[in-house]
Amino acid sequence: MSTTDSGRRDFLRATAGTMLASALPAWASAASIDASESPLARVRGGQLRGYRERGVAVFKGIPYGADTTHQRFLPPRIELPWQGVRDALAYGPASPQPKADEASSEDCLRLNVWTPGLRDGRKRPILFYIHGGAYNNGSGSSPLYDGTNLCRRGDVVVVTVNHRLNAFGYLYLAPFGAPDLADAGNVGQLDLVQALQWVHAHAAEFGGDAGNVTVFGQSGGGAKIATLMAMPAARGLFHRAWTMSGQQVTACGPRAAAQRAAMVLDALKLTPAQVDRVRTLPAADLIAAAQVRDPSRAEDTALYLGPVLDSRSLPRHPFWPDAPAQSAGIPLVIGNTHDETRAFLGHDAKNFALTWEELPARLEKQQYVDLSPQVVIAEYRRLYPQYTPSDVFFAATTAGRSWRGAVEELEARARQPSPTWAYQLDWASPLQPQLGAYHTLDIPLVFDNIDRAEARTGQGEEAKAMAARMSEALLAFARHGDPNHAGLPRWERYDLARRQTLLFDRTPSLADDPRGGERRFYAQVPFIQRGTF
């Protein structure tokens, strides 16, 4: 998003000194905040200069931790203070990653804040977004994550975040190295914990409520949230959670994580005894070494690196054998899209013209569950006799991937029991109807950002209505811990008797156990989260 000169000329209206002093944390003071042509904020590192966008104060690229370049694989440290006023006008670098489409650096512990008001005592709900890209790539800088529209629609504070990814955030070196590497397999998660601590400390400065933080995230972001729900260090740092097409039922086991780390060392031509050399290798070498083929996958996919069951920062699997007790009181929304895999597999024209003869081999390569393709195809032809081979391909790969994880988490929460709502996005973008309700389509709807070119939703009346329904649900959830609002039918909590699911479509409806036939079919095999073994 570009800024405008007129936006930057908006004046920060200084709050009366006595009121400001009461809103500031202990390390700040009213005297340190000066009114100027741009909004100013005081954080623990020093003063920040942001800009205004349609009445919303925006601060980008704020450090919430120190440069990790010389602290590679170690838990995050507090950012160094700066002198004077630091510009917070542009996004910070993303974590090093394969094929980055933006600047990247190990100095990546940055976050971005959108707020309707500074230091005004309003105690707005805080919406903390965690980006997708599995644990491998992405950042909080996408135009789709811009928080301006949510702030204007719901009078909330929006935060997005960058943190360490792939080998920099999740390479499990504990079995090979010095004692200070004991947390290496989860430092990417610990970055998120530190970012949430920063938000808690600065809530009043940005007009937010430290006691009302909603974490929300899509794909890998949802998986990171599920993992945070089982991390003791994250206890009390967020109060509601909303996940979109992202689940983490089990983490990577320590043996499997050590095996993958050994493969990275081998690709670097290093022995376990030489592990300390990994701390100072060029970042590009480390990224390249992690591109070896993952041993647990049927498809040709690079090494899985994600949260590790290390008995330290992650002492249990996120949602197995049950839902984490520490998060039982946190309201949770779990959502998926009806046609997830059309986002990954729908750009190959061959997948839209499959024959029944071609389908088994194509399905065997792309489905995650270990079932005979012929058995899967026979069941889908029974459940949906109108489906073409391509319809079966997309439906079966969707049901066998993240949707299985959503069912596992929903069932675990229902058994707990805990306040949980399920949704399924059925609406297809009129710009790409062949892709159906594909993976990521709910992002611009929840953020109310259909005006962005990257949204691929169009700006027709249907898209506007869908964005209003979904963003208002998120805002109601953030404000009240319940996603119901006047634009939806009554959205009931999920239970095992009915499996209530809100279907977001042209006409939203509540359905009991949608796709129940598929759910029962896949229940015959255990769900194994990718990367667990």
Q: Check if the beta carbon of residue 287 is closer than 8 Å to that of residue 98.
A: yes
Pick the closest to residue 507 from 469, 456, 458, 455 (CA basis): 469
Catalytic residue among 141, 219, 402, 471: 219
Catalytic residue among 131, 202, 239, 439: 439
Per the DSSP assignment, residues forming a β-bridge with 124 are 208
**How far are the Cα atoms of 72, 80, 105, 337, 443 from residue 167, in angstroms, in the given order?**
10, 24, 13, 29, 26
SS3 label, residue 47: strand
Pick the closest to residue 306 from 190, 166, 401 (CA basis): 166
338 is catalytic: no
Neighbours of 493 (CB within 10 A): 16
Q: What are phi and psi of 517, to 5 degrees?
A: -65, -40
Q: Write the burial class of residue 153 (CB in 10 Å: 0-12 exposed, 13-18 middle, 19+ buried).
A: middle
Q: Write the burial class of residue 166 (CB in 10 Å: 0-12 exposed, 13-18 middle, 19+ buried).
A: buried
CA distance linking residue 216 with residue 333, whole number of Å: 9
**Helices marked H in 112-228:** 148-154, 166-170, 187-202, 220-228
CA distance linking residue 477 with residue 116, whole number of Å: 19
CA distance linking residue 38 with residue 6, whole number of Å: 10
Catalytic residue among 53, 79, 205, 340: 340
Q: What is the residue whose two structure tokens read 């202990």?
A: 26
Instruction: Give the DSSP letter of residue 94.
Output: B
- C-alpha count within 13 angstroms, C-beta hemisphere, residue 345: 25
CA distance linking residue 474 with residue 482, whole number of Å: 9
Dihedral, CA atoms, 87, 88, 89, 93, nearest 10 degrees? Answer: 110
439 is catalytic: yes
Pick the closest to residue 494 from 422, 436, 404, 417 (CA basis): 422
Q: Check if the beta carbon of residue 365 is closer than 8 Å to that of residue 396.
A: no
| Positions marked catalytic | 219, 340, 439
